[in-house]
């Protein structure tokens, strides 16, 4: 299988995803985000993500207290995101979707929401109890690391999907991704 | 490790197997691992045609509630191998995370994360960033509307 080259920076993103796939990007609470370790093992952790269709890329973040996935991306940008847990999505019989792509991670440590306000707003909407971390001075002191974040952007290169989330069937593939 | 696998795996309906495809990209697929402690493996149901191959792999188990809270997470690192015409995963390391390991485990995790954050800054000679609490509060307000 061959993958198309990445689009040049600034070039419009034109891939059209099936509506049920875009709905999964919008509504699933987490994806299983895999990066490659130094020894080449793919390790996945659940992460909240935001799909920005106008940019053709996903936004994710990680605290500098949990930096390994960022180290992995700096060494090898190949990643994948599996959307396979529909809990709380409100979608009946959703497909499962696998996005393979290339990630970038910022060097700058972000201690606020600038540039990713939409990500934080989504995070607080889907995880309202997370507001507690900044609710008083003691918790702010104990959990300030939670807000020290590296930004991760993933540009899809290949997208596979399993209708009805049925992994016993061969997946369908979205044409002309990237 | 097997005590932990047998204790925590039944808490999940399914798990995510992570491998690399022929192009070297990570590839993940859901499956239903069945532990076989005698054989030292988890038997896996993987669709024919999935780009799995013998070698290093990992398994993620995770869940959350309707508010993306009460998360339970653990990871197994190990090797994928062929077994009786199918596939099996031979775990080598159990990596606990949120909701696994009890209150003591949670406290240990927070201490480790704080230490990681301090180490990240120290290695780069950076001061501890001042959190933009006003921005955080403004977004919290918007999300509450």
Supply the pLDDT for residue A12. 57
Chain center to CA of A39: 23
- Max Cα-Cα span within chain B: 59
Interface test with B, best of A31, A47, A63, A65 (most B CBs within 10 A): A65
Domain assignment present for residue A102? The answer is yes
Strand spans (E) along chain B: 15-20, 26-31, 34-36, 41-44, 55-63, 72-83, 86-96
Q: Does A99 fall in a domain?
A: yes
- Half-sphere exposure of A49 toward its Cβ, with a 13 Å CA cutoff? 29
Interface confidence, given as ipTM, is: 0.93
| A78/B117 CB distance under 8 A | no
For every residue of A27-91, DSSP letters joined together read H-S-EEEEEE-TTS-EEEEEE--EEETTTTEEEEEEETTS-HHHHHHHH--EEEEEE---TTS--
Q: In terms of Cα–Cα distance, which of A45, A61, A53, A47 is closest to A115?
A: A61
| A4 domain-assigned | no
| Structural domain range at position A150 | 19-169
Q: Using one digit for the tens of pLDDT, what is the confidence trace for A48-76?
A: 999 999 999 999 999 999 999 999 999 99
Q: How far does the CA of residue A162 sit from the closest CA of chain B (Å)?
A: 10
Contact between A64 and B20 using a beta-carbon 8 Å cutoff: no
Q: Does B107 touch chain A (CB under 8 A)?
A: no
Give the CATH number, domain containing residue A47.
2.30.110.10
Contact A41 B56 (CB under 8 A): yes
- Residue A14's pLDDT is 63
B6-35 burial, b for 16+ CB within 10 Å, e for fewer? eebbeebebbbbbbbbeeebbbbbbbebeb
Q: Is residue A9 part of a domain?
A: no
Give residue A1's pLDDT: 43
Per-residue pLDDT, B49: 85
Burial of A7: CB neighbours in 10 Å, binned 0-12, 13-18, 19+: middle
Would you say residue A121 lies in a domain? yes
Q: What is the pLDDT of residues A121-156, one digit of tens each?
A: 999 999 988 888 888 999 899 889 999 999 999 999
Which residues 80-99 of chain B have a CB within 8 Å of chain A?
97
Contacts of B113 in chain A (CB under 8 A): 63, 65-66, 145
Residue A178 maps to a domain: no
Cα(A17)–Cα(A97) distance, rounded to whole angstroms?
11
Among A30-34, A139-143, B103-107, B118-122, which is the least confidently predicted range?
B103-107
Domains of chain B from N-terminus onward: 2-96 (2.30.110.10), 102-144 (no CATH)
Q: Which residues of chain B have a CB within 8 Å of the CB of A130?
A: 69
pTM, to two decimals: 0.92
A9/chain B closest Cα distance in angstroms: 22
* Contact between A96 and A172 (Cβ < 8 Å): no
* Chain A interface mutation, best of B50, B139, B141, B144, highest count of A Cβ atoms under 10 Å: B139
pLDDT digits (tens, 9 = 90+) for B76-86: 999 999 998 89
Minimal Cβ distance to A34: which of B28, B132, B135: B28
Is A3 inside a domain boundary? no
DSSP A108: S
In chain A, the number of structural domains is 1
The predicted pLDDT at position A10 comes to 47
DSSP assignment letter at B18 = E
Task: Please indicate, yes or no, if residue A174 is contained in any of the structural domains.
Answer: no
Helices B133-144 and A117-126 cross at an angle (nearest 10°) of 50
Q: Identify all chain B residues contacting A157, using CB atoms and an 8 Å cutoff.
A: 25
- pLDDT, tens digit (0-9, with 9 covering 90-100), for B26-68: 999 999 999 999 999 999 999 888 999 999 999 999 999 999 9
Residues 41-60 of B with CB under 8 A from A: 45-47, 49, 56-58, 60
Stretch B8-20: mean pLDDT, rounded?
96
- A140 versus B106: which is more confidently predicted? A140
- Is the pLDDT at A27 greater than 90? The verdict is yes
Residue B127 has phi, psi (to 5 degrees) of -75, 160
pLDDT for res B104: 84
Cα–Cα distance for residue pair B112/A68, rounded to 1 Å: 13
The torsion defined by the Cα of A175, A98, A100 and A103, in degrees rounded to 10, comes to 120
């Amino acid at each position: 299988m061959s993958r198309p080259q990445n689009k040049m920076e600034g070039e419009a993103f034109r891939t059209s995803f099936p509506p049920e796939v875009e709905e999964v990007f919008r509504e699933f609470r987490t994806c299983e985000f895999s990066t490659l370790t130094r020894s080449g093992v793919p390790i996945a952790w659940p992460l909240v993500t935001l799909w920005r269709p106008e940019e053709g890329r996903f936004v994710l973040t990680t605290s500098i207290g949990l930096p390994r996935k960022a180290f992995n991306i700096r060494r090898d940008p190949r990643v994948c995101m599996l959307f396979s847990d529909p809990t709380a999505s409100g979608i009946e019989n959703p497909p499962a979707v696998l996005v393979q792509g290339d990630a970038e991670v910022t060097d700058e440590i972000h201690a606020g929401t600038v540039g990713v306000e939409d990500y934080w707003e989504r995070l607080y909407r889907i995880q309202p109890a997370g507001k507690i971390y900044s609710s008083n001075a003691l918790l702010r002191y104990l959990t300030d690391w939670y807000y020290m974040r590296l930004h991760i952007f993933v540009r899809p290169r290949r997208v596979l999907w399993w209708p009805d989330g049925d992994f016993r069937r061969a997946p369908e593939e979205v044409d002309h991704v990237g | 490790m097997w005590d932990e696998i047998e204790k925590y795996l039944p808490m999940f309906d399914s798990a995510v197997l992570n491998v690399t495809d022929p192009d070297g990209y990570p590839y993940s697929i859901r499956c239903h691992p069945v532990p076989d402690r005698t054989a030292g493996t988890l038997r896996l149901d993987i669709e024919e045609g999935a780009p799995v191959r013998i070698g290093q792999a990992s398994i993620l188990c995770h869940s959350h509630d309707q508010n993306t809270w009460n998360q339970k997470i653990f990871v197994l690192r190990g090797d994928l191998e062929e077994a009786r015409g199918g596939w099996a995963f031979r775990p080598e390391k159990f990596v606990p995370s949120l909701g696994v390991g009890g209150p003591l485990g949670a406290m240990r995790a927070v201490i480790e994360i704080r230490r990681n954050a301090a180490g990240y800054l120290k290695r780069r000679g950076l001061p501890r960033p001042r959190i933009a609490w006003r921005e955080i509060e403004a977004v919290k307000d918007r999300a509450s509307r």
